[in-house]
Amino acid sequence: MLTELWANAKIAWLERDFPKYGSREWIALDPGDPRRLAGALEAAEMWRKWGDEEELCEWLKRLASRPDAVLRARAIAELDELARPKPPHQLRATPGWPPIRVPGGNGRYLDCTRKEAA
């Protein structure tokens, strides 16, 4: 069922067939609706790329009202830096949790008995 939800959410995302995250239409969707997941994923990706939406909108309003404000406001280089992919998360085993399968680790697992990180 999870695989089907993910696949259908990906289809909805590719077709841009989902309401904006947090909108009344999005809230009205059933929690199992793939369009709801697609909206949440879109919002997460926009946050990762651009940061806070309200802050970005305020920056654009300042830029439109006073073009010289770009010299004092957030520069394109800063926005590009925010959009740069983050480094991969370091996997660490946690006491009381099952071992973690290391992606691409040829069947290797991390557990709390070995003090290592992937």
**From the first residue on, what is the mean pLDDT of each consecutive set of 10 residues in the chain (118 residues)?**
84 89 92 91 83 77 70 68 82 84 85 62
Euclidean distance between CA atoms 110 and 104, whole angstroms: 13
pLDDT at 73: 55
Euclidean distance between CA atoms 45 and 47, whole angstroms: 5
pLDDT at 102: 84
Euclidean distance between CA atoms 29 and 56, whole angstroms: 27
pLDDT at 100: 84
pLDDT at 106: 87
Would you say the pTM of this structure is higher than 0.95?
Answer: no
pLDDT at 53: 75
- Strand partners for 113: none
pLDDT at 27: 93
pLDDT at 46: 82
pLDDT at 60: 76
pLDDT at 114: 54
